[in-house]
């Protein structure tokens, strides 16, 4: 990795003023993939720039990102994204999602003119980070993509998942792809996670991460790597995928696939035990890795 790089990872995506309904209680939090991802990646040892957008009066909600150690570039918007999540199961695997408001989409001109190893597109829904951003970013650095941002589509206020029409065009330009098991099935038509990872790799993605409530796998160069999730409770389940992917991206700057995957799985297992972003240390993660082994 070049010493001249400004940042290890540049993360782009909306923050969201989330309303979470779970087991009869309701809470409001400032969330979004960039919130969980930036905290995890910084604590995994990476230098992070977050590019996000919101209305000017909501800028104060971004303090937590800066406090985690990431740098933040805020773009103004006519609205701030807000999402209502109603969870229907104890494991939080099933939920109804309603888009209450949406911030303006990002444009190619808003990709920051900095040097980085990875551009990470951490979108909440289709249109937030248009497909047109992928090629310009890929000409400058590796591109990491959470497929939520290309599958989750607004239909009359509800957010539903639809296949990515342009996947054959853009997957060859994706170095790191992340999906959960349901998203991988939408993209490939199979509920076999290993087969889905191989299929997405065959479509061009270099490393394919698929999360499940029991484990996380990565498919790369025809091989499958895996690591278990070992949370002692699920009180911090929200943000699991974002945290796992970001920790993996951070460690892949210097480590191999299996080591990075085990690190990410251990880190997110700790995170799932406490609501909010990951606040532990590399030493905490190493200790959990030893427990798993």
What is the secondary structure of 173-224 as a DSSP string? G-SEEEEEHHHHHHHHS---HHHHHHHHHHTT-SEEEEE-SSEEEEEETTEE
- Name the packing angle between helices 193-202 and 181-188 (round to 10°): 50
Q: Would you state the pLDDT for residue 2?
A: 41
Q: Would you state the pLDDT for residue 117?
A: 97
**In what order do the strands lie in the sheet containing 116-121?**
71-76, 48-54, 7-12, 116-121, 142-146, 176-180, 207-211, 215-220, 223-228
Instruction: State the average pLDDT over residues 74-92.
Output: 87
pLDDT band at 92; cut points 50, 70, 90:
low
Query: In the structure encoding, which two tokens stand for residue 147, read together?
Result: 């497929």
The Cα-based distances of 82 to 15, 179, 241, 242, 269 in angstroms read 8, 22, 19, 18, 27
Using one digit for the tens of pLDDT, what is the confidence trace for 46-72?
Answer: 999 999 999 999 999 898 898 889 999
Residue extents of the structural domains in the chain: 7-292
Going by DSSP bridges, is the β-strand pair 142-146/116-121 parallel, antiparallel, or unpaired? parallel
Share of the chain above pLDDT 70, in %: 98
Residue reference for tokens 């035990």: 273
Residues in a beta bridge with 179: 210
Q: Would you state the pLDDT for residue 88?
A: 81
Res. 19: pLDDT tops 80: yes
Using one digit for the tens of pLDDT, what is the confidence trace for 255-285?
Answer: 999 999 999 999 999 999 999 999 999 999 9
Tell me the whole-structure pTM to 2 decimals.
Answer: 0.93
Q: Would you state the pLDDT for residue 133?
A: 98
Res. 96: pLDDT tops 90: no
Q: Would you state the pLDDT for residue 292?
A: 78
The Cα-based distances of 6 to 25, 108, 114, 259 in angstroms read 43, 19, 6, 25
Q: Would you state the pLDDT for residue 3?
A: 45
Cα-trace Rg, the chain: 17
Q: Distance between CA atoms of 181 and 190, rounded to whole angstroms?
A: 10
Instruction: State the average pLDDT over residues 223-233.
Output: 96
Res. 91: pLDDT tops 70: no
What's the whole-number average pLDDT of the chain?
Answer: 94
| CATH value of 7-292 in 2.40.30.10, 3.40.1190.20, 3.40.50.2000, 3.30.230.70 | 3.40.1190.20
SS3 127: coil
Using one digit for the tens of pLDDT, what is the confidence trace for 106-150?
Answer: 999 999 999 999 999 999 999 999 999 999 999 999 999 999 999
Asked if residue 49 lies in contact with residue 122, where contact means CB atoms within 8 angstroms, the answer is: no
Instruction: State the average pLDDT over residues 198-221.
Output: 97
CA torsion, points 267, 265, 159, 145, in degrees to nearest 10? 100
Q: Would you state the pLDDT for residue 177?
A: 98
Q: Would you state the pLDDT for residue 93?
A: 65
Instruction: State the average pLDDT over residues 24-46.
Output: 93
Res. 198: pLDDT tops 50: yes
Share of the chain above pLDDT 90, in %: 81
Q: Would you state the pLDDT for residue 100?
A: 93
What distance, in Å, lies between the first and last C-alpha atoms of the chain?
29
Q: Distance between CA atoms of 89 and 95, rounded to whole angstroms?
A: 8
- Name the packing angle between helices 33-43 and 240-252 (round to 10°): 40
Using one digit for the tens of pLDDT, what is the confidence trace for 149-193?
Answer: 999 999 988 889 999 999 999 999 999 999 999 999 999 999 999
Q: Would you state the pLDDT for residue 271?
A: 97
């Amino acid at each position: 990795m070049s010493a001249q790089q400004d940042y290890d990872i540049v993360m782009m995506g909306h923050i969201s003023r989330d309303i979470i309904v779970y087991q009869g209680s309701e809470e409001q939090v400032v969330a979004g993939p960039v919130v969980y991802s930036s905290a995890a990646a910084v604590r995994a040892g990476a230098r992070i720039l977050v590019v996000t957008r919101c209305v000017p009066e909501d800028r104060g909600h971004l303090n937590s990102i800066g406090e985690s150690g990431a740098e933040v570039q805020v773009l103004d918007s006519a609205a701030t994204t807000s999402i209502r999540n109603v969870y229907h199961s104890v494991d939080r695997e099933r939920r109804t999602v309603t888009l209450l408001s949406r911030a303006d989409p990002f444009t190619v001109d808003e990709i920051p003119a900095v040097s980085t190893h990875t551009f990470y597109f951490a979108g909440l829904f289709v249109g937030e980070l248009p497909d047109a951003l992928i090629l310009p970013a890929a000409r400058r650095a590796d591109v990491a993509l959470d497929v939520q941002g290309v599958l989750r589509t607004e239909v009359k206020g509800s957010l539903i998942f639809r296949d990515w029409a342009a996947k054959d065009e853009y997957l060859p330009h994706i170095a790191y792809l992340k999906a959960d098991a349901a998203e991988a099935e939408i993209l490939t038509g199979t509920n076999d996670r290993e087969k889905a990872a191989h299929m997405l790799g065959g479509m061009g993605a270099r490393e394919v991460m698929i999360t499940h409530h029991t484990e996380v796998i990565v498919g790369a160069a025809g091989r499958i790597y895996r690591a278990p999730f070992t949370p002692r409770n699920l009180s911090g389940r929200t943000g699991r995928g974002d945290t796992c992917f970001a920790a993996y991206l951070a460690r892949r700057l210097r480590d191999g696939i299996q080591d990075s995957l085990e690190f990410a799985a251990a880190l997110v297992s700790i995170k799932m035990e406490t609501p909010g972003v990951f606040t532990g240390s590399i030493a905490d993660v190493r200790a959990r890795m030893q427990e798993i082994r």
